[in-house]
Amino acid sequence: MDFIPVNEPLLNGNEKKYLCECIDTGWISSEGPFVKQFEEKMSFTVGRKYGVAVANGTAALEVAMQAIGVGKGDEVIMPAFTIISCAMAVTKLGAKPVLVDSNIDTWNMNIHEIEAKITDRTKAILVVHLYGLPVEMDGVLEIARRYHLKVVEDAAEMHGQTYRGKPCGSFGDISTFSFYPNKHVTTGEGGMVVTDDEELAERCQMLKNLCFRKDVRYVHDEISDNYRFTNLQAAVGLAQLERLGEFIERKRAMGKFYTQSFADLKGIQLPVAHTEYAENIYWVYGIVLNRDIEITNRDIIKLFTEEGVGTRTFFWCMHEQPVYKKLGFFVNEKYENAEYLARKGFYIPSGMALTKEQMKRVVDKTRSVLEKIK
């Protein structure tokens, strides 16, 4: 039996057609016409005025942080449980990530811990929507308003998700997306910053392209990066965006199927299907082992591999990252729920190209693995 990969994208729409257009016209660089079209279509889809395509979701976070003016000595409040891109975007600028714990049910940041973490150095709140459900934005926006803080929204995993009917990616000062192949819209590698603020958008365009001076080429006043996004990537992205609605339906059907199939299983926590503000889009289908199960997610993914099923552990917490320990960040800090999710959470195959037959096999294999560890 073939190995079931944890993720496989679906590229059977107009991707090939648009890519051939790039080849036929010779437009393969970031100057090609699809880049602008993709920026416009993506920002329109998420209800923003401006989009700036960049090399990946990590670059999008870096550009966003730099654009809103995060710098040396500033603090940015973010979840302890997230991808390291979030913390790196802050520490690279000489600023400090200030962490909050997670909610054990939604796996998102506990917004009720934010206010106590605000100091006179706090510059921004970085909201990260994780695994399929959005963070409670009303609470975050209210705190940000009261303390005059910027809000950066990491919507990397949230293509097609809404919070109280409003698209994720439309909240706060600036939002970011990733188009890595496990995202609902992929361009291979890729990312985007979206905002309603024209000045911020212009600043992002500068920052992603070495801060070329507008009046004279090859003259630069600031340090920045080359995070440009190619016409080839945009060609794939445009074709993917055309199918976003269908992709979300597929993901929701997958989530429903897995949840129904696992309903009788003991010892595991399944994703919350919906909250009062959103229905889960199951960016990936996560499972968390109960406390009474002794083994960790690292052990369980080995068992799944033996069964021919690709799985991944959840993220590893920021305060437990060796690099940040070495640099003296987060000394003696503890975030109980975040640590628990990082040790006990994992996800099973959830890619867009997953077939019903594969899903059924994943369910059978999940049952056999859980039987073994009882």
Ligand X SMILES: Cc1ncc(COP(=O)(O)O)c(C=O)c1O
Enumerate binding residues for ligand X (CB under 6 A): 56-58, 83, 85, 128, 154, 156-157, 178, 180, 191
**What are the structure tokens assigned to 209, written together?**
């392209």
| Residue 360 CB, nearest approach to ligand X (Å) | 27
Nearer to ligand X, 57 or 271 (CB): 57
| Residue 245 CB, nearest approach to ligand X (Å) | 22
At 240, the amino acid letter reads Q
d(C-alpha 319, C-alpha 322), whole Å: 8
At 46, the amino acid letter reads V
Nearer to ligand X, 32 or 191 (CB): 191
Nearer to ligand X, 27 or 314 (CB): 314
d(C-alpha 244, C-alpha 192), whole Å: 16
**What are the structure tokens assigned to 149, written together?**
């803080």
* Closest residue to ligand X using C-beta atoms: 57
| Residue 31 CB, nearest approach to ligand X (Å) | 22
Nearer to ligand X, 57 or 132 (CB): 57
| Residue 272 CB, nearest approach to ligand X (Å) | 18
- Residues forming a β-bridge with 100: 79
| Residue 85 CB, nearest approach to ligand X (Å) | 4
Instruction: Name the nearest CA neighbour of 126 among 152, 93, 90.
Output: 152
| Residue 2 CB, nearest approach to ligand X (Å) | 25
Nearer to ligand X, 9 or 191 (CB): 191
Long-range pairs, 204-207, Cβ under 8 A, ≥24? 204/52, 204/54, 204/63, 204/64, 204/67, 204/174, 205/52, 207/63, 207/66, 207/67
Nearer to ligand X, 307 or 310 (CB): 310
